[in-house]
Amino acid sequence: MMQPLIDLQHISKSYDGTMVLDDLNLTVKQNSFVTLLGPSGCGKTTTLRIIGGFETPDTGKVFFEGQDITHISPNKRPLNTVFQKYALFTHMSIAENIAFGLKIKNKSKAYIQDKIKYALKLVNLDGYENRSVDSLSGGQQQRIAIARAIVNEPQLLLLDEPLGALDLKLRQDMQYELIRLKNELGITFIYVTHDQEEALTMSDTIVVMNQGYIQQMGSPESIYNEPENAFVADFIGDSNIVPGTMIRDELVEIFGAKFPCVDKGFGNNRPVDVVIRPEDIDLLEPGKGSLSGIVTHLIFKGVHYEMEVTTPDGYEWLVHSTNLFPVGKEVDIHVDPFDIQIMNKPASEDEEAIGVNE
């Protein structure tokens, strides 16, 4: 088996007595695009800063290709970091900004010139060498910050919410740029964001974090389609998370209605949580589905209609459909068996934070 590029073992970190990371273990493979995703304060930026060497863990070790780098300073690690605040030097030209790290390493003038040209071409800013930082837009400054990082040929690029300050269109453009750069350069990316769409679009591996714990780690598809707990289901995309009873293998009862599903091994007549994505609900004429309700809310979202369907128990189901059902219409809810995701109910709030799912 190939040695991981990064291996975090039993990392804990507290600030002023508040635990930010609690016994965190994480491995990152060579040439992957890993996104640390979670709400503010979940520990994702602290994890990134520990990998970068800007923070030292209270306990645990950081390994880079098998070598312990826990106490090695940031500038001696074979990685570069791009922060949300680009930290470009305004008194220097673009070329001088990009060359900064290379000059520290005493590279020759010719080598540096070549590298500047190469980096500017990579980020689609040919010919910008002599421009000033202040003359650039936010998106262009972001590209220069990335160019400055990649000229050093790091094996690992750490990106801390680097697109946070950009508007939506520019952010989407930069997402595609970053994927292209990663593929062209063969660098491993570890990326921090709280934006679920960004994580789903860019990563090959998503690490969902909450309260200092890793809740789930996997491909974007598995995280979205098979969330392991209610936190992940709720944080990644919209979800209907409802209480149910697992009557037996492949049959769950939701609000008194029986739904065939594909899950097994939860036991008989056990309380469970049921996750159903809004786009997986089919609305049918009354009498044709499993659960009846009334459309109580409707918004047109461009690609689909977003509706709320209230069932007799008072639960408001979120439904995404390309078919329009007007407010006040009686409908039935139908869900295909493989679109129903069953999860164990957490036994306690602590268990909920850790994301235990036996």
Q: What is the pLDDT of residues 212-237, one digit of tens each?
A: 999 999 999 999 988 988 899 989 98
pLDDT of 86 above 50: yes
Q: What is the pLDDT of residues 98-115, one digit of tens each?
A: 998 888 888 889 999 998
Report the mean per-residue pLDDT for the chain.
Answer: 90
Count Cβ atoms within 10 A of the Cβ of residue 50 and give its class: 0-12 exposed, 13-18 middle, 19 or more buried: buried
Beta strands in the chain (DSSP E): 6-15, 18-28, 33-37, 59-64, 67-68, 79-82, 156-160, 188-193, 205-210, 213-218, 240-248, 251-254, 257-260, 270-276, 281-284, 291-300, 305-310, 316-321, 330-335, 341-344
Q: Is the distance from CB of 96 to CB of 130 less than 8 angstroms?
A: no
Which tokens sit at 342?
A: 């069953």
Domains and their CATH numbers in the chain: 6-225 (3.40.50.300), 230-354 (2.40.50.140)
Q: What is the pLDDT of residues 234-260, one digit of tens each?
A: 899 889 999 999 999 999 999 999 999
pLDDT recorded at residue 1: 64
Summarize the confidence of residues 8-17 as an average pLDDT. Answer: 94
* Rounded distance between C-alpha atoms, residue 60 and residue 342, angstroms: 35
pLDDT recorded at residue 353: 53
pLDDT recorded at residue 356: 42
Between residues 300 and 174, which one has the greater pLDDT? 300
pLDDT of 358 above 50: no
